[in-house]
Homo-oligomer: A and B are copies of this chain.
C-alpha cells in the first residue's frame, strides 16, 4: 500500500494503476461505514485509492475542526487490511496553499437542511471534492448515504460541471441498536450514547407510518418531533421530509422521499436519514 503526501506523487502513481480506479475520500477516524465503501470500491474496480484529509474549509467558525478525532496509524492498518492500493494523506497547506482562492459552489440545495446552520459547509465540501477528483481522476467515487445531502450536492456538482466519473452512494452502516456509524459518535458520553438512538428510532417511526399508508408529511414530521422531545438529552435542529434531488420540502410524500434530521445530543450534533420505500 502506497501512502502518499504530495499531489505530484499521487498524480504520478495514479497513472500506473489498473483501470477502473475506485476512490473513497474520507476525513479519517474510519468506522465500519467507511470500510463498507472501501470493500465496495475494491469489489467494483481494479484499483482502489482512499484519502484521509480533515478538510478545514468545510468546518465553520466554532465547529469542531481542532477536536475532530484522528488516528492515522489505526486508519492505515484498516485500509491495508482491505487491500487499498494507495492512500493519499495531504497536509492542509498542500491542499490549500496560502494564495488559494477558488471555490466550487452548488447553489440552492446547499442552503437547505445542513446548510441552514452550516452556510459555508458544502462550499468547502464541493471545493475539496472537486480538487480530489482532479488529483485522483477516479472512475468511481464512493460516498455514504448517511450524509444524504452531501451525496445529493456532489451528484449535482458532477452533473453540472460535466465531471468524468460515476458517484456511488452506499447504504448507511448502523450499530446493533440502530445508531448510524459516525466519527462524531466518539464524542457521546455513556448516557448520551443511549439517547442517541432517538434519531434512528424517529426515522423508523416515519418509515412505519409510511408503510401503513400515511402520506401527510406534517403528520409524520410531528410524530417524529414528539418522539425526539420525549428524550430529555435531545435538542432538535431540524426534521425534514424532502425530495431527494431538489431537497425541497414535500407536502405529500412521493416515492423515494428523503426523511432526514439533525439532533444535538449533549454537545455533539448528529445527523441521520432514511429514503422512504
Partner-B contacts on A (CB < 8 A)? 7, 11, 100-109, 126-127, 130-131, 134-135, 137, 156-157, 160-164
Q: Can you list 16 A-B pairs with a CB-CB distance of less than 8 A?
A: A100-B160, A101-B109, A101-B156, A102-B106, A102-B107, A102-B126, A102-B156, A102-B157, A103-B105, A127-B161, A130-B161, A131-B160, A134-B162, A134-B163, A134-B164, A135-B162
Q: How far is the CA of A11 from the CA of B7 in the complex (A)?
A: 26
Q: How far is the CA of A163 from the CA of B11 in the complex (A)?
A: 11
- Check B102 against A7 for contact (C-beta < 8 Å): no
Interface centre among A134, A135, A163 (most CB of B within 10 A): A134
| Nearest Cβ on chain B to A136's Cβ, whole angstroms | 10
Q: How far is the CA of A103 from the CA of B114 in the complex (A)?
A: 20
Residues of B within 8 A of A162 (CB): 7, 131, 134-135
Of the candidates B101, B106, B161, the one whose C-beta lies within 8 Å of that of A108 is: B101
Q: How far is the CA of A103 from the CA of B122 in the complex (A)?
A: 13
| Nearest Cβ on chain B to A10's Cβ, whole angstroms | 10
- Check A104 against B106 for contact (C-beta < 8 Å): no
Q: How far is the CA of A56 from the CA of B20 in the complex (A)?
A: 36
Residues of B within 8 A of A107 (CB): 101-103
Minimum CB distance partner of A106 in chain B: B102
Q: How far is the CA of A103 from the CA of B126 in the complex (A)?
A: 10
Minimum CB distance partner of A157 in chain B: B102
- Check A104 against B101 for contact (C-beta < 8 Å): no
Interface centre among A109, A130, A160 (most CB of B within 10 A): A160
- Check A160 against B108 for contact (C-beta < 8 Å): no
Q: How far is the CA of A137 from the CA of B160 in the complex (A)?
A: 16
- Check B161 against A102 for contact (C-beta < 8 Å): yes
- Check B102 against A103 for contact (C-beta < 8 Å): no
| Nearest Cβ on chain B to A132's Cβ, whole angstroms | 8
Q: 17 extra interchain contacts, Cβ-Cβ under 8 A, other than A102-B156, A131-B160? A: A101-B108, A101-B109, A101-B156, A102-B105, A102-B106, A102-B160, A102-B161, A103-B104, A104-B105, A104-B161, A127-B161, A130-B161, A131-B161, A131-B162, A134-B163, A134-B164, A135-B162
Residues of B within 8 A of A163 (CB): 134
